């Protein structure tokens, strides 16, 4: 294939890609398929379970695409988990499950479906799918992982599992859960141990025995809080119960920033004229 000659005519006709594609933030090939609604359903919204990760937080949102832009119906964040007893490890697999459970219970309560669809109240690690009720269908949301690579065992699927166990209808299968292989298939016990944080507790105990200095360095905050490896599963079990008991968001008690405008107010013609007259009068009075 020959090289493209970037002539004047080429530049005049060049069409740039969307801004979020240029910055590598949005996969529009996937987005188009996630938000395109069946024409027979008219203006019925198509909801997405949007999951995003930062260095210190996990964000889960229920989003509907509108002509004016995406509308967030409900949201949950990992930095809310200390309210439910999870103070550390806010971005691990077990915390990701809690965030998914929280956003599911929150949106179902908002829609008035929380009592009808309770989900899987006990963590077993088994595949679970909500059964439709005769009166109202379950709340369906499609998983939106953004530009994350869908690798087996990724934390994004922990959020999805939490949302499904919380009562949402999210189409999925078991092939992306931890330890899944084509030969051995799906192991529910491995998934359960990850959801309850047991793998973290086992690693803490192993590290404490083999390398105490590294254990103190890596789990220093756990040591300061008095948390040991055998306490991790109980912490997450209590968090699941607390989330189901009260999933409502709490307003932040941080003081609002001062939004004073520092831009100088523009004077009117009469005010400017009066200022000039005042200055002239001051100068003349000094003479």
CATH number at residue 214: 3.30.420.100
With cut-offs at 50, 70 and 90, classify the pLDDT of residue 232: very high
Query: Looking at the 3D structure of the chain, how many domains does it have?
Result: 1
Instruction: Supply the range of the domain harboring residue 215.
Output: 27-248
How far apart, in Å, are the Cα atoms of 279 and each of 101, 266, 267, 268, 272?
Answer: 69, 19, 16, 17, 11
pLDDT tens, residue by residue, 118-173:
999 999 999 999 999 888 999 999 999 999 999 999 999 999 999 999 999 999 99
With cut-offs at 50, 70 and 90, classify the pLDDT of residue 287: confident
Task: Report the first-to-last Cα separation within the chain, whole angstroms.
Answer: 86
Q: Is 283 inside any structural domain?
A: no
Q: Is 184 inside any structural domain?
A: yes
Using CA atoms, how far apart are residues 274 and 280, in angstroms rounded to an integer?
10
Specify the DSSP element, H or E, that contains 96: helix 93-111
Q: Is 6 inside any structural domain?
A: no
Q: Is 107 inside any structural domain?
A: yes
Q: Return left, alpha or beta for 154; rule: phi > 0 is left, psi -120 to 50 is alpha, else beta.
A: beta
């Amino acid at each position: 294939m020959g090289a493209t000659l970037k002539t004047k005519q080429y530049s005049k006709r060049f069409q740039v890609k969307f801004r979020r594609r240029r910055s590598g933030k949005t996969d529009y090939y996937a987005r188009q398929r996630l938000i395109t609604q069946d024409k027979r359903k008219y203006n019925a919204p198509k909801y997405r379970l949007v999951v995003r990760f930062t260095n210190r937080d996990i964000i889960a949102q229920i989003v509907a695409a509108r002509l004016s832009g995406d509308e967030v119906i409900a949201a949950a964040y990992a930095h809310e988990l200390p309210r439910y007893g999870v103070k550390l490890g806010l971005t691990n697999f077990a915390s990701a499950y809690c965030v998914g459970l929280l956003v599911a219970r929150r949106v179902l309560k908002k829609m008035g479906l929380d009592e009808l669809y309770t989900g899987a109240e006990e963590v077993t690690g088994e595949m679970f799918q909500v059964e439709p009720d005769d009166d109202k269908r379950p709340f369906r949301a499609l998983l939106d992982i953004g530009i994350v690579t869908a690798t087996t065992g990724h934390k994004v699927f922990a959020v999805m599992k939490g949302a499904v166990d919380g009562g949402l209808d999210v189409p999925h299968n078991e092939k992306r859960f931890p330890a899944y292989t084509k030969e051995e298939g799906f192991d529910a016990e491995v998934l359960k141990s990850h959801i309850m944080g047991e793998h973290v507790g086992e690693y803490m105990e192993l590290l404490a025995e083999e390398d105490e200095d590294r254990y103190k360095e890596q789990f220093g905050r756990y040591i300061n809080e008095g948390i040991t490896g055998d306490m991790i599963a109980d912490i997450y079990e209590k968090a699941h119960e607390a989330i189901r008991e009260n999933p409502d968001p709490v307003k932040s008690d941080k003081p609002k920033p001062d939004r004073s405008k520092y831009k100088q107010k523009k004077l009117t013609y009469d005010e400017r004229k009066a200022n000039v007259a005042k200055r002239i009068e001051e100068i003349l009075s000094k003479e």
